[in-house]
Each structure stands twice: as structure tokens, then as C-alpha cells.
Amino acid sequence: MRVYPVPLGFVFRSRAKDEKALADKAPVTDSKQTRDPQAPKGRPTPKRSEAQSQRRSVANTPTTRKDAAKRQRDERRAAMERQRQALAGGDERYLPARDRGPVRKFARDFVDARFNVAEFFLPLAVVILVLSVVRVASLQNIALLLWLIVIVLIVIDSIFSAIRLRKRLAERFSGQNTRGAVPYALMRSLQMRRLRLPKPQVKRGERP
């Protein structure tokens, strides 16, 4: 095996010379440029507003599971309060997903602007129930007849309303997705006006 001699200059080369050579190759920076001692190297000094927002976000970050659960409960409670106010005032930003959009708003206004037979179903049902409980054959027969009349009127009125609403939606929102608006309106018509949510935004007889 042949051994090649190693130059002594390579072994005993001065480390100081190497460091000096590296220092000469390093880029020269302007020593007059000042830097914030608090700023991390290689990054610009953050603005005061950014620094304050970062400190607030760090301070608001929950440190324990209990704090995280409490924060989630507070956020959920605040969201429910915003939704309740939106249902009362009609603010589209915080309404539930099923009530959002101009199509659903138009369907609500269409129902709220007219009298619907279905909205009187609950009070009529109470009257019919009372008549059916009374142990008088004539009154029970009247109660049964009223049941049939109310159901027939609700069906006829609902069909008429659905046809008119579908036509109005086709005129107002031509080419847009109106799927589900008619069943949504019919379900709203079954509720008494004062109990409807979101609250009615139009008066009776007012054209939406």
C-alpha cells in the first residue's frame, strides 16, 4: 500500500489566518445603522399597534383546559345573544343559516303581508278540543265538522299561497336558486304572527 506524504503546511496551518480569510469574505454592513436592541435579528421592528395586538392575543390565549372551556362557553353565549337579537331585528349577519339570503327574506315577507288560514290553526284547535271533550253529542259532531272544515281550508289556502309564491319567486329571482323557499314559507304560515321568528318586517297588506 502506497502512502502519500501530507504537506506539513496543511497540518500546521495557522487557524488565525483561516478566521481572518473568512472575515474578509463576510459582507460588510453599515456600522452607523442603528437597530432596536429588542428587535430580533433579521426582522424589522414591529409597530406599536402590532406589538399591542400580539400581546393581547398572547394574554387572551387560554393556558389550561378549564380556561379554554370557559372561553368557549362565553363565545357560544355571545353568539346566541347576537342570534337572538338578529331574530328580533332581522339583522342578516347573525341569522341562522336557514333564514339567510334575499330569497328567504322575500318568502317571509310574502307570508307576513297576508292573512293565512293556517296561522289560526292553534286557537281553532283549542276551541275544537274543548267542544270534543264536552259530553254532548251535538257539540262533538260540531267539533268533528269544524276539524274537517279547518283542515280543508288550510290545504286550499296553502296550495294557493304556494302557487302565488312560486310565481313571484320566478319573477323576482329569475335564474337564482330558490329551492326550499316554498316549504319554508308554508311552515312559517303555520305559526301565529306574533310568535314568528325572525320577527315580521312588513305590515299586513304591504306588498313585499
45-102: per-residue pLDDT in tens? Answer: 656 666 666 666 555 565 688 888 888 888 888 878 776 776 777 677 888 889 999 9
10-39: per-residue pLDDT in tens? Answer: 444 555 455 545 445 545 444 444 555 554
For residue 48, CA distances in Å to 33, 52, 111, 135, 173 come to 21, 6, 54, 82, 49
Burial class (CB in 10 A: 0-12, 13-18, 19+), 139: middle
Contact predicate 83/94, CB 8 Å: yes
pLDDT at residue number 67: 80
Considering only residues 163 and 205, tell me which one the structure prediction assigns the higher pLDDT: 163
| Cα(111)–Cα(124) distance, integer angstroms | 20
Among the residue ranges 67-71, 83-87, 134-138, 194-198, the one predicted with the least confidence is 83-87
Cell 345573544, located at residue: 81
